[in-house]
Every structure is written in structure tokens, then in C-alpha cells.
Amino acid sequence: MIKHIVMWNIRGDTPAEKERGIAQLKRSFESLRGRVPGLLHLEIGVDTSGIDYACDVVLYSEFESQAALDAYAVHDEHLRVKREVGDLRVARHQVDYFEHENETSI
């Protein structure tokens, strides 16, 4: 399994504008559930810390394989979501990594 994590800072001159952007991003990504083969888990989290260096939103997703993640990148539904949310962000960060069976917890 491969884990795909994306974090965004959302555009907005006021807290209300940012909240609308966050809600749109959340709706758009949640609409992918059940529509993309190999997408095993999708979760959207909104920052509650309020610290200045935190990202506003995180997407945590799991794919059955690298091939499934690669197919997701060009899947019509994912491309639709990218179009819907592309103008909402001011920054984007991403990490992809493979789950290891013998991981140890801290």
C-alpha cells in the first residue's frame, strides 16, 4: 500500500473566504470516494491549531499500489477535482510513501 498526503494553504483575505475555500476543497475531494479504482481510504482534515506555520487542510489517502496512485493522477474524476480547487490554494505540499509491514510506532 502507498500513502499519499497533500497539504494546502487556502486563499482568502478574510476568515469567511478561507472557510468557503476549505469547504469547497473538502466537498470536491470527498466526492472521489468510490469513484477511483485502487483508492482505499480518503480523509480530509482541517487545521485546528491556528499556528502561523500550519497548513490549512490535509488530504490523507491510501492506494493499493503505486500503479493505482499513478492512475489516480490522470483519472477523469481527480482531474475534475483539480480544476475545481486549483484557484483555491496559495501553497501545496505532498508526500507519498510506502507502508512497511514492520513499522514501529513512536
Domains of the chain, earliest start first: 2-98 (3.30.70.100)
Closest CA to 10 of 27, 29, 24: 24
**Measured distance CA(85)–CA(71) in Å, rounded:** 20
pLDDT above 80 for 104: no
What per-residue confidence (pLDDT) applies to 29? 97
- pLDDT tens track for 22-78: 999 999 999 999 999 999 999 999 999 999 999 999 999 999 999 999 999 999 999
Cell 483519472 belongs to which residue?
75
Kindly report the pTM of this predicted structure: 0.88
- DSSP class of residue 105 equals -
List, in sequence order, every residue forming a beta bridge with 61; answer none if it has no partner: 4, 42
